[in-house]
Structure formats: C-alpha cells, structure tokens
Amino acid sequence: MELRDYFKMISKYKVIFWLIVLLCGASAFLWTKAQPKSYLASTTFTVNKSSSLNQKEVAYYLYDNYYNVQSAALFSQIVTTWFESPSLVTEVYQKAGIAVPPVSQKKLSKTFKAVREEPATINISLTGTNKDELDKLINAAGDVLQEKTNELSRNGEVTYDLAKFTPVVSDNTPNLVLNSIIGLFAGLFLGAILILGVEYFKEEK
C-alpha cells in the first residue's frame, strides 16, 4: 500500500479523524490548565573529609588524600539513604517550622529525592505548590544533615563536612503550549491508527 492510499483512507473519515485530533489536543490543554502551580526546590551537597595528617608532617606518602576521598564517597552513600527515613524527613519539617503532613510513613519517605553523583556529591530536590515552604524545607535539610554529620564526629572534632550549594526554587508547572502540541500529535497518531484499523476489519469481512 502506497502513502497516497493512507491519505485517501484518512480523507474518507476526515471528520472522525480531525475530531479525534481536536479532542486529544483539547484534553491535553484542559488537563494542563487544571494542574496547580508547582515549584521545584533543589540544592547540592559535597561531602568532604579533612585529614588529620599533613603530608609535610609524615615521612610516608599519603596518596594525595586518596583514602579521604574514598571515605567521603562512602559517607555520601549513607547521607543519601538518610532521605529515605521518615524520621529524618520529620526532623527537617520541624527544623523548618512546618507541620508534618498527615500522610503515611511510606509517602513521607518519598518527600525528598536524593541522587548521589561520583565521587561524593549529592543532589537533593523536592516539589510542591508552596514556594515559601519549599525554600524553608530545602534550607532546613542542609541544617539537619550537618547536625547529623556532627553527631558522628569523634572527640568533638568534625570528621566530615557538608559543603552546601545555594538552594534554588523554580517554577515547575507543566508547559501549557508544549503539552497541547503533544496532545495534537498524539491525536494525529491515534486517529490514523483507528482509521487504519476500521479499514482493515472491513476488508476482513
């Protein structure tokens, strides 16, 4: 079957075809329009481990603090898993002065998204509809993490340090125009498939 044959079939059912296209486009437009304004808050932490020894103070080679870097990388894995704990999330809310949402512990543990990047960088993000609350939460997360890190120190000396980048809160609302265009293209595809299916079953009979 040649390409022009497909166009002939679509032309035969053009009313139905364009109706499907418009319905898909309108559905995408209305769905996007109905979504509440959303924001994305994110920040980045880098785990550092200070060395108790200086190369100038010892006669053996310290491998450019290679083991400190490896230790920081392992600790960053631990920090990443902390965000899966409802207890830590609760502490972040309390630190931010915001009431903890009345949700299940499973859902609470998914409040933050923590992604570790080699060797010891952690990207933290969360979404919501209240920009001010998100800003407080992302900043409070850094404070709580540093407090937890300090608790693991020995003899009052901080073994690890978390270098925090400036948090950013930006608009995360779905793009109305883009989603509408995607809906129209989806309608074109769906309409063509349905018409081809109708013609196929007609020939079968």
Tens of pLDDT along 85-106?
Answer: 999 999 999 999 999 999 999 9
Q: What is the pLDDT of residues 165-183, one digit of tens each?
A: 999 999 988 889 999 999 9
The answer to whether 143 and 167 have CB atoms below 8 angstroms apart is: no
Query: What global pTM score does this model have?
Result: 0.73
Per-residue pLDDT, 173: 86
* Structure tokens, 120: 């010891």
Phi-psi region of 137 (alpha: psi -120 to 50; beta: other; left: phi over 0): alpha
- 10 versus 22: the higher-pLDDT residue is 22
Q: What is the mean pLDDT of residues 151-156?
A: 65
Q: Mean pLDDT throughout 20-27? A: 93
Mean pLDDT for the chain?
A: 84
Q: What's the pLDDT at 50?
A: 65
Query: Whole-angstrom Cα distance, residue 39 to residue 171?
Result: 5
Domain parsing of the chain, residue ranges: 3-35+175-204, 39-171
Q: How confident is the model at residue 65 (pLDDT cuts 50, 70, 90)?
A: low
DSSP structure string for 17-52: HHHHHHHHHHHHHHHHHHSPP-EEEEEEEEEEE--S
Architecture of domain 39-171: 2-Layer Sandwich (3.30)
Q: Of 168, 131, 126, 163, whose CA–CA distance to 49 is shortest?
A: 163
- Over 50: is that where the pLDDT of 61 sits? no
